[in-house]
Structure 1
């Protein structure tokens, strides 16, 4: 437990499970009040909120479809109202699909971009006028935004490359207000979306110099660093957290 985010208000999209839940819990453990959005698993969202309140912080859960720009914008506004302000916005909501170019239909392509890019754009646009000067916007991207490590990752990788491009532009847009915008790019991390014992886990693990999947808490630690005063001169960049895959 620490107090480095004492008095800060944070929103984590897709915060009910996996990396998002770990980030929400870490920010709360460091003193922030935290609102999360979730797609449909209310039980998991309630568990995350319970962990936030157990840390002595205020927690809120708001259901929203990240692929619907209006719903995403409304959820961000509702979260800010519930918290009474905003200092830290973490975009974590995302979808992951594998399909070769001749197997990717337009609906799947549009769904990936609607959530992974459109939701980030809509949420940031809604938050930007209301986030406090000196705030932080952190996007959970992927090392697949820079590199294609296996077949079938083109649409997903392209969506993560897109948000890295948005972050670089937003860092320029928001710099006059002291708002920092960065991207955390995880490698394989043990989550429901990509479990360490899943069908493609052996393929992924073979590419990781450290020989294991990452833990959600490790991604949360880097995110908390970027949200802190220690990262006050870092903006418009991507940080790979991948066990050496990108080395």
Structure 2
């Protein structure tokens, strides 16, 4: 499929995990991609794999100036912007002090708004699409309250933005992954094996699983879908029956 031929995407968190998989998926479907991350070595590796359709960009989503510069560089390089995929995010494993709550919220929620604000003028021109990466932790109680609360805020954000900008042709959606086997599980392979048992589909997710959902929501295949949160979670939240059967 070439759903993104002649389209341009800006992807944050592009060096690893879901972000890397998203860059490669969009590029494989014809997109020109600005791959943004603070890890220059990681983004260079993505470019080496994807080829000339991808440009590596240094970007710190906690800095408005950095985000604006990276979006501007993407538009300058490729001439337009059709898709924002904000994947950058991290569970800071915080205990809940004022400073810790603020750091998590700034990184997860305000970082997303920085990317949206920088991209929106271009997306209004192209009648484009925004996909934010939330978490299933933002939908159900799975612990780590600061992270979960910041991710949950993204769902309300896109509902409001979808309402505001739908008449102008711009769509906003969230994907909410559960356990995904990314770099943060290196050295914790035994834990991933244990976690498989709680998923009805019998496995944890991959970056490619989430990237496929992002690509769908960003594409014209989802042209009548906006303001939603799409769980990508292997059946984890279908109900307690499966987990109870394991006990």
- How big is each residue's C-alpha offset from its partner over 1:175-226, in whole Å with a ceiling of 9 and x where there is no partner? 1121111001101000013459357546643432223210111111111111
Whether the aligned pair in 2 keeps the contact of 1:34 and 1:52 (CA below 8 Å) is: no
- Tell me which residue corresponds to 2:41: 43
Whether the aligned pair in 2 keeps the contact of 1:170 and 1:181 (CA below 8 Å) is: yes
Counterpart pick for 2:90 among 62, 78, 95: 95
- 1:21 offset after TM fit, Å? 0.5
- 2:157 is paired with a residue whose SS is helix
- 2: CA distance between counterparts of 1:200 and 1:160? 23
With 76-85 and 219-228 compared, the bigger mean Cα shift is at: 76-85
- Paired residues for 1:140-219 under 5 Å: 140-149=133-142, 151=143, 153-194=144-185, 197=188, 201=192, 204-219=195-210
Q: 1:52 to 1:177 in 2, by over 3 A?
A: farther
Counterpart pick for 2:115 among 123, 126, 132: 123
How many residue pairs are counted as aligned between the two chains? 237
- 2: CA distance between counterparts of 1:105 and 1:200? 28
- Tell me which residue corresponds to 2:227: 236
Structure with greater helix percent:
2
Moved >6 Å (runs of 4+): none
| 2:15 is aligned with 1:16 | yes
Q: 1:196 to 1:133 in 2, by over 3 A?
A: farther
Whether the aligned pair in 2 keeps the contact of 1:188 and 1:194 (CA below 8 Å) is: no
Q: TM-score, normalised by structure 2?
A: 0.89
Alignment RMSD (CA, Å):
1.8
- 2: CA distance between counterparts of 1:86 and 1:29? 17
Whether the aligned pair in 2 keeps the contact of 1:195 and 1:201 (CA below 8 Å) is: no
Unmatched 5+ stretches in structure 1: none
Whether the aligned pair in 1 keeps the contact of 2:205 and 2:233 (CA below 8 Å) is: yes
Unmatched 5+ stretches in structure 2: 239-247
With 104-113 and 16-25 compared, the bigger mean Cα shift is at: 104-113
Q: TM-score, normalised by structure 1?
A: 0.89
With 90-99 and 162-171 compared, the bigger mean Cα shift is at: 90-99
